[in-house]
Amino acid sequence: MKGGKIYSLIKALWPVCRSITGDGVRKTLKIIQKKIPDLKIVEVPSGTKCFDWEIPKEWNIRDAYILDPEGSKIIDFRKSNLHVVSYSIAVDKELSLSDLQKHLHSIKDYPNAIPYVTSYYNENWGFCMTHNQRKTLKEGKYRVVIDSSLEPGHMTFGELIIKGRSKNEVLISTYICHPSMANNELSGPSLTTYLCRYIKKLKPKYTYRIIFIPETIGSIYYLSQNIDYLKPFVFAGLNINCVGDNNNWSFLPTKNGNSYIDRLVRRILDKEKIKFKEFSFLERGSDERQYCSPGIDLPVCSVMRSKFNTFDEYHTSLDNLEFISKIGLQKSFVVYCKILDQIENDIIPFSQVKAEPMMSKRGLRSSIGKRGSSHSSKILMDFLMYSDGKNNLEEIARIINCKINEAKEVLDILEKYGLIKSY
């Protein structure tokens, strides 16, 4: 059962302190690389421009703690890497409780949870603790220590391209930038790792581009470098996160909500009798924001268990190894395999020409232009019009109002003359 193997990979990745840059990301990718040796690890220098952004300085942390007035260690980064605000600058000072409170974070409504807090683009520092612990703090001098560095370095990501018979691509993206959280962080890259192995065994007809990236800045950089190639070839995409729990399913479609991958996912979930809640794209929050943004417009959706930002454990220490399960991971793996199988089994025609082709020189239309002369070739032109990689054979047949066997005959004719290509 793959669920157990995926869970074991999550456990191996669990102790690593990750952020959007740094040695934690490198260590994470090295662990994943042991499962998929041909994963390419890429380093991008700090300061590199990417659209409206630039790659930030690299952050690394070695230790962090708080000593109370009696000298007892009440916060220890080594016990939970969520205790430190991600990207905290180095600090070693004594301060009063009132001054310390300005740098503390807790959640009143979830008093036993350590929150996950970041400050990527403003130099700051802080600690996170449970609200119950925070309430016990007494007056006096506290010593705070964060042994970290923030300096020019690199952002790191992983890329694997599994070539198929076709240049047309399926994009799979998952993020590797959160510290120790099981569902929101580690379920995505761990499940994706085993999907890579599954896809390889398929000997796929389509090419699969799989990236393990820091959320937001990673996808923005990747798009800035590859969008000119991605736009004509990516016909379906999946952003994988929050796939480890055993709760109800969630579906976040693409921006237009009716792309090929949207329809396919709904079809699979319905076929498998899986109850799911479909969210509006207005409720986006992960890298689908970047993949579906104006000027990019890639058809990328997310299939999740508990959607990010909807479960109580989200972005807290309660999103732990007990929140996910081997069974939940196994079910998610099976569903994703079914989605990939369906993509591989669907007949999806891709036009090989730009603009309307000259049918008469191929003997597919009369060269005499007169009223009614185009009627016999209309079905060919209609079929070609919707052969844009956004519809499978059955969908085209329905759109142009013909029987599936007629559509197959048309497909064969258009392929014979090199006007479309299907695999």
As a three-state string, the secondary structure of 95-114 is EEHHHHHCCEECCCCCCCCC
Q: Where in the chain is the domain with CATH 3.40.630.10?
A: 2-56+154-345
Q: What is the DSSP string of 49-80?
A: EETTEE---EEEEEEEEEE-TTS-EEEETTT-
Instruction: Report the sign of the C-alpha dihedral through residues 135, 137, 138, 140, in that order.
Output: negative
Bridge partners (DSSP) of residue 278 are 251
Cα angle 19, 212, 168 (rounded to 5 degrees) comes to 155
Task: Measure the CA–CA gap between 192 and 162, rounded to whole angstroms.
Answer: 13
Residue 47 gets the label, from left (phi > 0), alpha (psi -120 to 50) or beta, of: left
Report the 10 Å Cβ neighbour count for 152.
11
Task: Measure the CA–CA gap between 391 and 348, rounded to whole angstroms.
Answer: 6
Which pLDDT does position 377 carry in this prediction? 80
Task: Measure the CA–CA gap between 123 and 287, rounded to whole angstroms.
Answer: 24
396, 407 in Cβ contact below 8 A? Answer: yes
Q: What kind of fold does domain 58-151 have according to CATH?
A: Glucose Oxidase; domain 1 (3.50.30)
Helices (H), 203-324: 217-233, 260-271, 288-291
Q: What kind of fold does domain 2-56+154-345 have according to CATH?
A: Aminopeptidase (3.40.630)
Q: Where in the chain is the domain with CATH 3.50.30.90?
A: 58-151
Task: Measure the CA–CA gap between 96 and 70, rounded to whole angstroms.
Answer: 13
39, 32 in Cβ contact below 8 A? Answer: yes
Q: How far is CA 45 from CA 48, 49, 88, 156, 220, in A?
A: 6, 10, 20, 9, 14
Bridge partners (DSSP) of residue 277 are 250
- Write out the chain's pLDDT in tens, 423 residues: 899 999 999 999 999 999 999 999 999 999 999 999 999 999 999 999 999 999 999 999 999 999 999 999 999 999 999 999 999 999 999 999 999 999 999 999 999 999 999 999 999 999 999 999 999 999 999 999 999 999 999 999 999 999 999 999 999 999 999 999 999 999 999 999 999 999 999 999 999 999 999 999 999 999 999 999 999 999 999 999 999 999 999 999 999 999 999 999 999 999 999 999 999 999 999 999 999 999 999 999 999 999 999 999 999 999 999 999 999 999 999 999 999 999 999 999 999 999 888 888 888 864 333 334 334 688 899 999 999 999 999 999 999 999 999 999 999 999 999 999 998
317, 363 in Cβ contact below 8 A? Answer: no
Terminal Cα distance for the chain, rounded? 31
Which pLDDT does position 376 carry in this prediction? 60
Tokens of 152: 């020019």
